[in-house]
Chain A
C-alpha cells in the first residue's frame, strides 16, 4: 500500500539517486516514444482493404448518410448546425447542400432500391436552395465582402452559386429526369457559359473581380453533364478553356492550377489544397489526362504521410499563403490543413489512390473525433459541410461514370 512513497525494488536494492533515476527515466521515455509513435496508426487504421474499394467504404458511407439525412429531417438539429457554420462562413451552408446532393445522386445510382428515397431528399434540398436564393438573393450564401464593390460583369451573378446549383440540378436529372428542373438548368447553363465566354480567361466571377478555379471547374462539370443529358455540345468551349487555363492559370513553380484570380487572369492566390482536389475531380469530365496530371502534382506538392497517417497541406512548400476560412486553422510545422485534408479524401477516391485514402481515413479516426449514435456517424471536429464532403468522397463514382459512358455504352441494356 506504500507504492507511491517508495520506489519499487527498494526491498532488494537501495533506491538509485534522483539524478540517476532522472537519467534512466528520460532514457525510458525516449525509448518508449520511439516504440509507440510509429505504432499509433495501427490503433486507428481502418480494417484491411476488402475485395473492392466499394465494400471498403460502404459502412462509412451508410453511417454518414444517416446523420446527414437526420439533419435534413430534424429541423432543430439542422438549424443549430447551419447557424454554427454560418457564423464562420455562409458559403458552407450552401456547399453542404451541394455535396450532399452529389452524394445522394451517387448513392441512388449505386443502389437502385434507395433511388426513391434519395431523390426525395435531393428535391427537398434543391427546392429549398432555389427558394432561398430567390427570396434572399445570392448574397445570402456569399461572404460579406461580396458587397464591398460591384461585380465587373453586370448584372451581378456569382458563379459559385450558379455552378453548384447547376451541378445539383444536373445530378438530380441524371439519376431520374424531372421536367420541372430542365428549364431552370438550361437557363443557368446558358448564363454560365455566356459569362465565362465574356471573361478574358474564359472564367466567370464568384466574387467581385474574383474568379475561383473551384467554382469554374464545378461549372464546367455541370455544363458537361448538361451535354450528356440534353444532347448539347460544348466540346469546343471546353477545348478553348483548357488551352487558356494551361497558358494563363497554371503556377509555373508547381504546374498546379491557381485557386483564385481576377477576371482578366491575374493570379490572387496560388495553388491551394482546398481548391485543387475538387478542381481535379471536376476536370475528370473535361480532360481525364489533364485532371490526372493535376492530381499527381497535388499529391506530390500537398499530400503528406507521416507515421502511417495521411494529411494535406493547404499550400505547396514553395508558396506562402495566409490562413483563411478555406484552409481552416493550419497546424504549424507540418502545415496540416483541415480544409485541404478533407477535400483530399475526394481527390484520393476520385483517382483511386487507395493507400493515401486509407491513411487519410486513419487520420480522420485519430484526430476528427468520430461520434456515433443510433447508427449515425458524425465527426465532432468537422461540421456539416465537412461531413458531406467525406460522404461524397465515400460514395462518388457512378455519377461521373454515367457521364463518361459513350453513347454506344449507354445504349446497351
Chain B
C-alpha cells in the first residue's frame, strides 16, 4: 500500500517543480495570480467573510471572485514567501558537498 502511494507521488510529481528554481517559479506564479485578482478589484468582494451577502440576481456569482481573491491573497502572503525560503534551503541541501566531489588528482600520480 505504502509502495503504491510512493509510486503514485513519484509519478505525478512535476519533475521541474521539485527543484529550488521550480519553487521560485511557483512563488512568482502565486504573486502574479494575486496581482491579477487585486488589479481586477476583487478585494471588494471579500465582504462574505463577515457574513454580508452580495446583492442582486447574480449574488452567488459574486462569491466566486471573493473566494478566489482570498485564496490568491493567502497564496501571496503565506505560501509564496515559504516557497522562496524553501528554495534557498533546498538549494543548500542539494548543493554538491565536499565529500561528494571526485577526489582531486595528485600531481605526479
Contact = CB atoms under 8 A, between A and B. Distances in A.
- Specify whether A and B are partners: yes
Nearest to A5: B16
Interface string B43-55: 1111111111111
Given A32-B89, A33-B82, A22 B21 contact: no
B77 A43 contact: yes
Given A83-B55, A329-B51, A381-B50, 20 more contacts: A16-B94, A18-B13, A19-B10, A22-B10, A22-B18, A25-B18, A27-B89, A27-B93, A28-B87, A28-B89, A36-B85, A84-B55, A87-B52, A88-B53, A325-B51, A328-B50, A366-B77, A369-B43, A371-B44, A383-B50
Interface residues of B, number: 44
Nearest to B59: A87
Contacts of B100: 13
Contacts of A88: 51-53
Q: Label chain B's interface by main secondary structure.
A: helix
A73 B93 CA distance: 60
Contacts, number: 129
A208 interface: no
A391 to B, nearest CB: 15
A380 B73 CA distance: 13
Contacts of B48: 329
Interface of A: 3-5, 7-9, 12-13, 16, 18-19, 21-22, 24-25, 27-29, 31-33, 35-37, 40, 43, 80, 83-85, 87-89, 325, 328-329, 338-339, 342, 366-369, 371, 380-383, 386
Given A5-B16, A36-B82, A43-B77, A383 B93 contact: no
Contacts of A382: 47, 50
Contacts of B51: 88-89, 325, 328-329, 338-339
B78 A4 contact: no
Contacts of A369: 43, 46, 73
Given A18-B18, A33-B82, A40-B78, A87 B53 contact: yes
B81 interface: yes
A367 B43 CA distance: 11
Interface in B52-109: 52-55, 73, 77-78, 81-87, 89-91, 93-96, 100
Contact of B15 (A18, A28, A36, A40): A18
B9 interface: yes
Given A36-B82, A88-B53, A380-B43, A28 B21 contact: no
Q: Which 3 A-B pairs have the closest CB atoms?
A: A32-B85, A32-B86, A28-B90
A22 B100 CA distance: 20
Contacts of A328: 49-51
Contact of B94 (A9, A33, A43, A342): A9
Scoring B18, B43, B50, B54 by chain A CB atoms within 10 A of each residue's CB, the highest score goes to: B50
A7 B44 contact: no
Interface in B1-39: 6, 9-10, 13, 15-16, 18-23, 25
A87 B55 contact: yes
B47 to A, nearest CB: 6
